[in-house]
Amino acid sequence: PGPGMESLPEGVLIQILASIPAVDLILVCRLVCCQWKNLVDGTALWILKCQQEGLTRAESEEDVENWQNFYFLSKKRKNLIRNPCGEEDLEHWGEIENGGDGWKIEELPGDFGKEFPSEDVHNYFVTSYEWCRKAQVIDLRAEGYWEELMDTTQPKIMVRDWYAGRSDAGCLYELCVRLLSENEDVLAEYKSETVTIPEDNDASWTEISHTFSSYGPGVRFVRFEHGGQDTLFWKGWYGVRVTNSSVTVEP
């Protein structure tokens, strides 16, 4: 028999391995021999896969500590909040507090409102004359973020939300996001101030964001909660409007 693949130059072998699906590299190719294990655990193979699939970021590539994790996090990156814009009514939202006349979904721009900065967003949730709150709890393991990754790499967790008032009414807004352990102990928390939007505002949409980093081991869930009310106590839906909420695990 002729020479096997082990006789190939390392650069050529990396080119061949880079054409194999990432999961097969981890579960199959890594177990073939010591040489393949070292290549799969190394940096060059994953840099090449990232380049081939256009997985890059604006910062210097020298900042990437683990290219294998960077590859998988980039491939998995998505908004973990379900139904962020009310396209499915209140589906996927729990722990709902329906103060006043409760939550309502309206179409953009709405009465005395403005269009959203993105054309992809068509609806928003709106609050009433007493506090309305709603929450989602994201199970990170169910979303594919394994325990070792969360405990050791501790990838950044980015939280965003958008809020606006009506131009004819004042309102209040709050955001609270918590990183929870297996037993739902609070390991890290971001809580906004209570934002007051005055009457006669311009109804423009405002983004609020926070990035969790270096939060320590043990994070298994993200609990996202937001809400608000109007300040005039008018019957109906004159309170804060929220939409396009997002939680992403960043590469």
Give residue 237's pLDDT.
Answer: 97
The DSSP symbol for 56 reads -
82 occurs within a structural domain:
no
- Domain-embedded: residue 83: no
Per the structure, the count of domains in the chain is: 2
Looking at residue 242, what is its pLDDT?
98
The answer to whether residues 30 and 146 belong to one domain is: no
Burial annotation 69-97 (CB, 10 A radius, 16+ → b, else e):
bbbbbbeeeeebbebbbbeeebeebeeee
CATH number for the domain that contains residue 162? 2.60.120.260
What is the DSSP annotation of 89-158? Answer: TTTT-EEEEE-TT--EEEESS-TT----SSTT--EEEE--SS-EEEEEEEETTTTT--HHIIIII---EE
Would you write out the chain's pLDDT as a tens digit for each of its 251 residues? 445 566 677 888 888 888 888 878 887 888 888 888 888 888 888 888 888 888 776 454 556 678 888 888 888 889 999 999 999 999 999 999 999 999 999 999 999 999 999 999 999 999 999 999 999 999 999 998 888 889 988 999 999 999 999 999 999 999 999 999 999 999 999 999 999 999 999 999 999 999 999 999 999 999 999 999 999 999 999 999 999 999 999 87
At 74 the pLDDT is 85
Determine the pLDDT at residue 1: 46
pLDDT at position 2: 43
Question: Which residues constitute the domain of residue 45?
Answer: 5-68
Q: How far apart are CA 86 and CA 96, in angstroms?
A: 14
Cα 221 to chain centroid distance, Å, stands at 12
Which CATH number does the domain housing residue 23 bear? 1.20.1280.50
Same domain, 203 and 101: yes
